[in-house]
Structure 1
Amino acid sequence: MKKLLVPRKKSFMRFAMVGVLNTAFGYALFTILSLSGLLPQVALVISFSGGVLWNFMTHARLVFDTRGLGRLPFYILSYLVVYAFNALSLEGLLSMGVQPITAQGIIVLPAAVLAFILISRVLTDRFPWQQEV
């Protein structure tokens, strides 16, 4: 069975729109947890963990037209890569004296670009710059 893939421009726009909502949720949760006194890395773990299943469903269905949970383990793995990038970047910025909320704000865009690349690969079997087959 040949799968119909969503055109790249359309998928990027959908990814951006869904990503804004997902990122806003994650960043708001990180902010609330940080302001409530949790250490920045603990707040980051909770905000990432809380959104993975929700993000999988929104990305798979609304962005890449993928059904089922078969790709969820690879999706989680891609999120762990994004998390590692985010955690290391956050630690680096914190060590330079940047406040936690500002530091996370700086990291949001590069982390989103990395996530698009990895999630595109996981949910469509190709990178965003590759041609459909």
Structure 2
Amino acid sequence: MKIFSHAIDVTFIRFVLIGLLNTAFGVGVYCLFVYLGIPYRVAVLLSTILGVLFNFKTIGTFVFRNTKNRLIFKFVAAYVIVYFINIGLIHLLLELSDLNEYIAGIIVTPIVAIASFVLQKRFVFN
């Protein structure tokens, strides 16, 4: 089973477009929490929780054309995995560079987005 095939052209494009909206929401919330003095691990956790609620409907409805609410549990499980990928990558960047938490969070976003797409396509909305 291929992740990327001819059919993904449209699905992946929709994912990217909706992902831009979802990413703006998630990164904005993350940056707000860091600005408020919340440690980055907690900021990622809180922005992920809020993002899951926002993203479930947008991704399910507009990307995968699926409105089954019962998939929320698989969606949450995928986001738990994405959370740990996100934390691990931010931690790695902070340890290996002089980057701050804002820039590290923004830099890892494309990698986290690809991981999220693969999990959503294969595990949640397959």
TM-score for both structures, normalised by structure 2? 0.89
Higher helix share: 2
Runs of 4+ in 1 over 4 A off after TM superposition: none
Aligned position for 1:14: 14
Deviation at 1:36, TM superposition (A): 1.3
RMSD of aligned alpha carbons: 1.1
- The percent identity for this pair of structures is 29
Aligned position for 2:80: 80
* 1:106 to 2:107 alignment: yes
Q: Name the count of aligned residue pairs.
A: 119
Deviation at 1:124, TM superposition (A): 3.3
Please give the alpha-carbon distance, in whole angstroms, between the structure 2 residues aligned to 1:124 and 1:76: 12
Aligned position for 2:95: 95
Deviation at 1:123, TM superposition (A): 3.8
Residue ranges of structure 2 left out of the alignment (5+ in a row): 1-6
Distance change in 2, residues 1:42/1:28 (3 Å): same
The one-letter code matched in structure 1 to 2:118 is I
Please give the alpha-carbon distance, in whole angstroms, between the structure 2 residues aligned to 1:124 and 1:40: 30
Residue ranges of structure 1 left out of the alignment (5+ in a row): 1-6, 126-133
Q: Which string of whole-angstrom CA distances, capped at 9 and with x for unpartnered residues, describes residues 87-130 of structure 1?
A: 111112122332000101110000000001100113432xxxxx
Higher-Rg structure is 1
Give 3-state SS (helix, strand or coil) of 2:70's partner: coil
TM-score for both structures, normalised by structure 1? 0.84
Aligned position for 1:117: 118
Please give the alpha-carbon distance, in whole angstroms, between the structure 2 residues aligned to 1:82 and 1:24: 17
Aligned position for 1:3: none
Deviation at 1:70, TM superposition (A): 1.7
Give 3-state SS (helix, strand or coil) of 1:37's partner: coil
The one-letter code matched in structure 2 to 1:46 is L
The one-letter code matched in structure 2 to 1:40 is Y
Please give the alpha-carbon distance, in whole angstroms, between the structure 1 residues aligned to 2:101 and 2:125: 34
Please give the alpha-carbon distance, in whole angstroms, between the structure 2 residues aligned to 1:100 and 1:11: 32
Deviation at 1:66, TM superposition (A): 0.6
The range that moved more, 94-103 or 20-29, is 94-103
